[in-house]
Each structure stands twice: as structure tokens, then as C-alpha cells.
Amino acid sequence: MSEQIFELKGNLFTLSVLHLFSADTALLSKQLDEKIAQAPKFFAGAPIVINLSDVQDEALDFSFLKSMLSGLSLNPVGICNGSQEQNESAKAAGLSVLNYSQDVKGATAKQQTNTSIVEKTVHLPAQVIHGTVRSGQQVYAKDRDLIVIGAVSHGAEVISDGNVHIYGTLRGRAIAGAKGYNEANIFCQKLEAELVSINGSYWISDSLQGEHWGSAVQIQQKNDSLEISALVKG
């Protein structure tokens, strides 16, 4: 018997979601171009999933949409929350149809009007990383906080569904509240980050290089934006 030359298993990758509120592709192209110009290196080659939950009744040319996004140096990989007709059109254009449960949760709850739903919050212990998270590495703490006892290097990425604690210098990317937890925080002993993000709100390095650059900070989300404050040392 020949030696197995591959392994097939599930894994986690970071995808950006482009949530459409209009089918006006000309306006979309203009606004996306302006957004990407703010951080071209961050968006270059970024894999994109197109969320169609608010445009399910609209006719979309997915071949044109895919070409337009590629022309902006994005990498469109699929759609989610589309109608059956949109799903078929997207497949014909070479896009995958993905299940993005976060956005359909509310609709499902409305349909099940006679069902009693009991929610139970499960608190898992924090995931602790001892040592530096090096360039090219990605760490994801699912349904829990992430604690890094060390630094996060340039090109490294730490992601948590809860809070992110970094007992060292944050030079790479830190993403907290990845599943939509808007009360998540990012704590670090020295802020030199490429990017910080909480519940979809993000700031890149240029926006961070102000009063708190190089200092110990707490970052939180307020009014759909981020707020940085100094960590008070006792």
C-alpha cells in the first residue's frame, strides 16, 4: 500500500464579510475604493464573503461583482444569506455559497414563535499562550478569553471570541469579540499594533499612533467605534 500523501481536516481561517445594503455596484466600487485606500496593505488579497441578507430581492451580476472586487485587489470567495436564485447565480460565477449563522439567527428565532428558547451562557477557562506569538502564526481562542504571556510579533494574529490580554508588546494584529461580543476588551503592556479590532470595529497602525502609542492600554468598543485608554498602574 502506498504512503498517504495528504491529510484532509477542518481548520479556521479569517474571512472578511462584505455586508451589502444596496445592489448599486457602481456606488459600491467607489466606496470600497475609498475604504481600501485607507489601508491598502491590510486589504490586499483579503478573502471576502459577500453577505446578501439585505439585498435578497435584488438582481445581482455576480460575474461583474467578482471581477470588480478582484480589480480592487480583494479575493471574493463566496456569498452567504442569499436567496435560492442568488445562490445559483453565484455558483455559476464561481463563488461558493457559505452558511453564516450569525446573521440568520434572528430570522430563525422569529420563525419559531411557538418555541421556547432557553439560552445558557457557558464560561470556558481562558486559553493561555506562554511565549511570543511569532510572525505568520495565528492563535484563536474559541468561546473564551485569550491570554498571551509574551509578545505578539509583526505579522502574527491573535483572535478571541472574548477578551485578549497580552502581557508584552503587541506588534501584530489583535481581534477580540470575534463572534460579535461588543463588551470585549484588548489589553496590552505596550501598543505597537498593526491592527486592533473588536466586534468588527478596527483601527490600523496609522490610527493608533497617537497619545497611547508605545504605552500600556485598554481598548474597548463604544458607539461602534474603538476607545483607547491608559492602563493605570497601581
Please name the residue that has the C-alpha cell 479590532: 197
Residue 100's domain is classified under what CATH number?
Answer: 3.30.70.260
Helix (H, G, I), strand (E, B) or coil at 39: coil
78 to 47, 96, 100, 101, 123: CA distances (angstroms): 9, 4, 11, 15, 32
Q: Is residue 117 part of a domain?
A: no
Q: Side by side, which strands form the sheet with 96-98?
A: 16-19, 47-51, 75-80, 96-98
- Grid cell, residue 229, equals 485608554
CB 164 within 8 A of CB 189: no
Where does the pLDDT of residue 180 fall: very low under 50, low under 70, confident under 90, or very high at 90 and above? confident
Tally the domains of the chain: 2
Give the strand pairing for 195-198 and 217-222.
unpaired
Structural domain boundaries, residue 182: 127-230
**Position 153, amino acid:** S
Whether residue 169 sits in one domain with residue 106: no
Write the pLDDT tens digit of every residue in 187-200.
Answer: 999 999 998 999 87
Q: Cell digits for 138?
A: 495565528
- C-alpha cell belonging to residue 121: 451562557
User: Are residues 126 and 147 in contact, defined by beta-carbon separation less than 8 angstroms?
Assistant: yes
Global confidence as pTM = 0.57
pLDDT band at 4 (very low <50, low <70, confident <90, very high): confident
DSSP states along 152-174: B-TT-EEEESS-EEEEEEE-SEE
CATH number at residue 152: 2.160.20.70
Same domain, 135 and 216: yes
- Pairing between β-strand 217-222 and β-strand 225-230 as defined by DSSP bridges: antiparallel
Residue 220 lies in a domain: yes
pLDDT in tens, 15-40: 778 899 999 999 999 998 888 887 67
In a domain, 185, yes or no: yes
CA–CA separation, 79 and 167 (whole Å): 38
Mean confidence (pLDDT) of the chain: 84
pLDDT in tens, 66-96: 999 999 999 999 999 999 999 999 999 999 9
228: region left, alpha or beta (phi > 0 left; psi from -120 to 50 alpha): beta
* pLDDT, tens digit (0-9, with 9 covering 90-100), for 98-129: 876 554 444 444 444 443 444 444 457 999 99
Q: What is the pLDDT of residue 103?
A: 45
Residue 231 has pLDDT above 80, yes or no: yes
pLDDT at 123: 54
The predicted pLDDT at position 105 comes to 42
Give the mean model confidence (pLDDT) for residues 38-58.
83
The reply to whether 196 and 135 lie within a common domain is yes
Q: Over the Cα atoms of the chain, what is R_g?
A: 20
